[in-house]
Chains A and B, each alone.
Chain A
Amino acid sequence: MFLINCPFCGEREQSEFKAGGEAHIVRPKQPTELSDDEWAEYLFMRKNIKGVQFERWNHVHGCRKWFNMVRDTSNDQIKAVYKMGEKPPVK
């Protein structure tokens, strides 16, 4: 079980958190201008890589805040956590 360093609360058990899929996917500002394919790209397509992945997490049983995490899915090492709207501190 991970120890996750919530950017608002500090280190907490993984059981307090919920994973929320790939990070840095921005909801299109003008969905009506998009073709079916473009909309489907936003709606359905998510990466699932073995290696360094950018993810959204929610401290659902804590401060309820969403934040981002850089995690290596091959060994579950958390490289960084950072707030929504911030740029990833690592590549």
Chain B
Amino acid sequence: MSNNLRFKTSKFIDETYRVSFKFNNKTYFGFKGDTLASALLANGIHLVGRSFKYHRPRGIMTSGSEEPNAIIQLHDNSSRTEPNVRATEVEIYEGLVASSQNCWPNVNFDIGGINNLLSPILPAGFYYKTFMWPASFWEKYEYFIRKSAGLGKSPKVADPDIYEHKYIHCDVLVIGAGISGIMAAKMAAKNGFKTLLVDEKSYLGGSSIYDNSEFSKINNQITSSWLEKEINEISKLENLEIKIRTSVAAFHGYNFLLARENLTDHLPINQRENKVRQRLLKIRAKKVITATGSIERPLIFDNNDRPGILLSSAIKKYIDLYGVACGENNILFTNNDTAYETAMSLIQRGIKINAIIDNREQIDSKISYEVEKNNIEIYKGYTVVDTYGYRRINKISIMKLSKDGQTVIGDKTKLNCDCLGVSGGWTPAVHLFTQSGGKLKFREEDQVFIPNVYPSDQISVGSCNGDFGLEEIIRNTLSSIKKFLDIDNSEYKTVETISGLNQSKRNIWLLPSDKSIGKTKSFVDYQNDATAKDIKLALREGFRSIEHVKRYTTTGMGTDQGKLGNMHALGIISETAGSKMGEHGTTTFRPPYTPLTFGTIVGRNVGEFFDIFRRTPIHDWHVANNAEFENVGQWKRAWYYPKDNENMHQAVQRESKAARDSAGILDASTLGKIDIQGTDASEFLNRVYTNAWSKLAVGKCRYGLMLNEDGMVYDDGVTTRLGENHYIMTTTTGGAAIVLGKLEDYLQTEWPELDVYLSSVTDHYATISVCGPNSKKIVSKVIPDLDLSDEKFPHMSFKNAKIDNIKCRVMRISFTGEHSYEINIQANFGKSVWEKCMEAGKDFNITPYGTETMHLLRAEKGFIIVGQDTDATLTPIDLQMDWIVSKKKYDFIGKRSLYRSDTIREDRKQLVGLLTENPEEVLEEGAQIVADIKKSPIEMLGHVTSSYYSPNLKKSIALGVVKGGKNMLGQKLIIPMENKNINVTVADPVFLDKEGERLNVKL
């Protein structure tokens, strides 16, 4: 490996600070200030990866976030491993470990490279065409595709780093600290605007900060020197906050932006402990100034993807900023003047340039004359038609372009090189502008899209606005910022510039070749291996919209979102289709601008904060008593309490038997509770429930069903009249918030005349339900002062009581069909009252039961669970609950819908009971119900909604919905399962104690 690639001239590289790092298991050295890419190039390494589809060798192509090829895995097999990292953005540190992706067994010999030879059978849309049919084969194809494709490996253990989110509010946000961003930030801050300036790089100044050429000067100073003084000045401004290593990921409406601030990624791993790694900034800016610069375009010709082919501007940056030569025998290939700046940077350091290939016939700029003076051969009006060299470019062949640029003429000349710099002009980085909803316009003269209509208080300045020359960048930045901020003083007296460049360009989207297009591989999207040929094929096959072509060819769908090649894709489409640029749409750039880590996105919401849950006041008791939990909404509810290695079935059988034989206790604290007060409370309940409420006496409870306006059951629960104008409503656990929201909606918007106030009190009370034939004895021990006689305290009534002087409400209501009491007490006393009940019930084998037993017990009684037995397509009539729908009330929510032509159909699905022929056979919930299995296709009549083995009835019971089920009592139906058909009989959904005698059972 040659040693003369590093030039000790850059002030951005600290040559006294040597850094060792590993790449593909070999140790290399770089300097502090290097990126992984610059350090690899200084070691003569171009080949860093393999392409996605054809596994072609690929090298470092750019020097920034637009990099499509040099995508690497950091710290493989460690907790900090990260895939798909751009080597051009990684600042090296001691101990960095990087490896190539998408190649096996290694980057130099990659088995997948055979795809390159097979490429004639891997055209655009190959995956769609081949793998979509027959569908049953997909699993087999997928295995091979997944194995051979895939970019990088995800980490297998928890991320040890800390991330956080932060809100920032500012008057002016400036995105990009290049020359126009620096000027804009200074003007804003000096004029009293609270300003934030962000840049994705580790330094300020953009590409001008290493512009040391005699050919561009500001106020008679070298550009970089002038800019350094400016940076020095603004870094002292009080009104200005500057954040480097901060990349704006998303620009949303209303000037809301997301940015990722990188805080520790450039530090050695052992210096990162207890520091925040990345911060997601949520920025609200009154005004936004976008100064994101521009990205150099590659040129599209045959085999334009070999390692050693870089953007010309990247070669300039590597030598000027990092002091690294990308090659020793360079050729530049261009259609505009900027490549000559690269040439001058190389010439100044004595790095050899073999030739410059320029598409243009006429070149007339000071800088090009200067290059010519250095005896460098310039092939004017020529194009590259092919390149050679497998792991590194070693030759190119060139031909003369015809006058119209559509074909090549004359003889082919071969030229040697080890590095080819390409420059196809510049594309304004309008990604963030378009994300914000901005509309672009196409500028014909130099074939660029530039900002046209701003959707919010924002402006674009500099080359992202289509100003490319130094003089016009400065002039236009000054004038438009003055106008945008409405200020008189620009802070700049006179700024005079000198530039040796002309803005002439000969734009040819797809350069011609002596071969037919079918025989070329001219890459448009390097990362996804999409070629010009693929795009033309897509057009031939009838795709027109850019969004369709994009998906069909996968152009622009890599992690770089086609930052380099999208313009060429559009250009080739418009040329081939004979339409205007932009006529078929421009692709939409979606956030994030560069990929974000999951850590940044979730911030501190990890571990127990990822998906927070609610605990009842009695939760700790359940934990201590071995409960298994289930999630209901955000709640953790005790599911069952296994004893001595019981499985769930055994535990539930024991719990439900105990509840009916003696006593059970349930934590019902999660039920939604809404306090309703006001002189119109009764009238309000009349309107929201299907049954009548005005005659409910104080101290009484009533079960109610709530419908949507479409007549479908929506929630249910018991509501108690606590006083003349005071009710407490209970809702289902999952429905509490939605019910409250819906009630508020009606109160505020439809019936504002009603005097009713609603408050959620779910969290204020613990609710303990004691049920079973011995429940009365137990409750009388807990609340001795309360008269529990059936005369004084009948079913469906309520009493205020006290336990140890603490007020509580006791309801005699039942969801199990057993004699039962519900004690509601201030939440913080919940656990002690629960323990009191346990103590009092000791002699009666009081058994705590969870939600599973609760479901079984209520199913024995045929009580529905909204959301399990119903699914927003069932009316109360469908549920055979006609009794709860008031015939007398003029109106209630959903009433009118109950006699729409559709809701009165006889053959709607209706709730029925199901009994299996074999009483031991338990149905699967969700199983289909049919009548005739010989018919083809089999008609599905409905499905099983609830199914259990009842230890009390000693048989399997189930609820289900069946078309016309109401009139099918006694009829035989079939539940077809994978290996058998189960015979069932339609039954009454109330399986146990239809007369309700257990409610008043006396022991």
Contact = CB atoms under 8 A, between A and B. Distances in A.
A76 B253 CA distance: 8
Contact of A43 (B254, B284, B437, B897): B897
B896 A39 contact: yes
Interface in A16-33: 18, 20, 26-27, 30-32
B748 interface: yes
B646 interface: no
B891 A32 contact: yes
Contacts of B741: 18, 58, 60
B469 interface: no
Interface of B, secondary structure class, is mixed
A68 to B, nearest CB: 9
A43 B749 contact: no
Contact of A1 (B256, B455, B709): B256
A18 B896 CA distance: 27
A34 B254 contact: no
Contacts of A1: 252-254, 256
A41 interface: no
A34 B896 contact: yes
A76 B437 CA distance: 10
Contact of A3 (B254, B744, B750, B895): B254
A89 interface: no
Nearest to A2: B254
A26 B901 CA distance: 23
B710 interface: yes
Contacts of A39: 896-897, 900
Interface in A41-91: 43, 56, 58, 60, 64-66, 75-76, 84-85
A31 B891 contact: yes
B752 interface: yes
Given A60-B741, A75-B437, A65 B748 contact: yes
A58 B745 CA distance: 9
A85 B752 contact: yes
A65 B256 CA distance: 25
Contacts of A43: 709-710, 897
A80 B828 CA distance: 45
A64 B745 CA distance: 9
A36 to B, nearest CB: 5
A75 B42 CA distance: 49
A84 B749 contact: yes
B741 to A, nearest CB: 7
A36 B898 CA distance: 11
B749 A36 contact: no
Contacts of B890: 32
Contact of B748 (A3, A26, A84): A84
A31 B752 CA distance: 19
Q: Which of B437, B749, B891, B901 has the most CB of A within 10 A?
A: B749
Nearest to B253: A76
A64 B749 CA distance: 12
A55 B284 CA distance: 25
Contacts of A20: 745
A43 B896 CA distance: 10
Interface centre among B455, B710, B745, B748 (most CB of A within 10 A): B748
A3 B252 CA distance: 11
A66 B752 CA distance: 11
B895 A32 contact: yes
A65 B745 CA distance: 8
Contacts of A64: 744
A56 B746 CA distance: 13
Contacts of B253: 1-2, 75-76
Contacts of A18: 741
Contacts of B455: 75
Contacts of A65: 748
Contact of A31 (B256, B284, B895, B901): B895
Contacts of B750: 26-27
A31 B896 contact: yes
Contact of B752 (A27, A60, A84): A84
A60 B737 CA distance: 10
Given A31-B891, A31-B896, A32-B895, A66 B254 contact: no
Nearest to A39: B896
A36 B901 contact: yes
A46 B752 CA distance: 23
Contacts of B901: 36
A66 to B, nearest CB: 5
Nearest to B896: A31
A75 to B, nearest CB: 6
10 contacts: A1-B256, A2-B254, A3-B254, A18-B741, A20-B745, A27-B709, A31-B896, A64-B744, A75-B437, A76-B254
Given A66-B748, A75-B253, A75-B455, 19 more contacts: A1-B252, A1-B253, A1-B254, A1-B256, A3-B284, A18-B741, A20-B745, A27-B750, A32-B896, A34-B896, A39-B896, A39-B897, A39-B900, A43-B710, A65-B748, A75-B437, A76-B437, A84-B748, A85-B752
Cβ-closest 4 pairs across A and B: A31-B896, A66-B748, A1-B256, A27-B750
